[in-house]
Amino acid sequence: MAIALPVCGVLIAAGWRLWHDPTPYKLRDSPEVRVTVVPAKSPYPDVEPLARETERVIKVYVQRLLAGDAADLAAIGAPWYTGREEAARELISRHGAQAGEPVKAVVAEPVVDYLAYVSLRFADGSRQRIDLTRDKGVWWVQLGEGDPVRP
């Protein structure tokens, strides 16, 4: 009985987390993207878990970039930012074509735990930096104009 109670608690917590995913966006079946997410080299151990934690929003970003739909790309932008759709159109124009080839995403160690910096390296040698902000367990792309720490 003493062992069963903690085990039940862990199972309930894991089930709640799976059932109650706060992320309002999902990776779609198409277009298919090939994104490898890796942590930047760092002496600090928190970079590797950060890379895993931000992997979904990075892949969704590349997928929406490739799809070329500014409204869909803007939807993963931090909700408190303005001008997201216009910024999304510019990004699609600049980087959308490269998103169809393999992309390497290098997640850098942030100064604070709710920000992340990602260097996207496209197959043609071009690069793009995207900045991420976490609010209530959800990672958002800093897209448009706004304050990354506003939430």
pLDDT at 15: 43
> Measured between alpha carbons, how far is 83 from 7 in angstroms, rounded to an integer?
47
pLDDT at 149: 75
CB 116 within 8 A of CB 50: yes
For residue range 79-129, list pLDDT tens digits in order: 999 999 999 999 999 999 999 999 999 999 777 889 999 999 999 999 999
The residue among 57, 118, 67, 104 whose CA lies nearest residue 89 is 67
For residue range 22-38, list pLDDT tens digits in order: 789 999 999 999 999 99
Domain 32-141 indexed as CATH 3.10.450: yes
Nearest-10 crossing angle of helices 47-67, 84-95: 80
For residue range 49-85, list pLDDT tens digits in order: 999 999 999 999 999 999 999 999 999 999 999 999 9
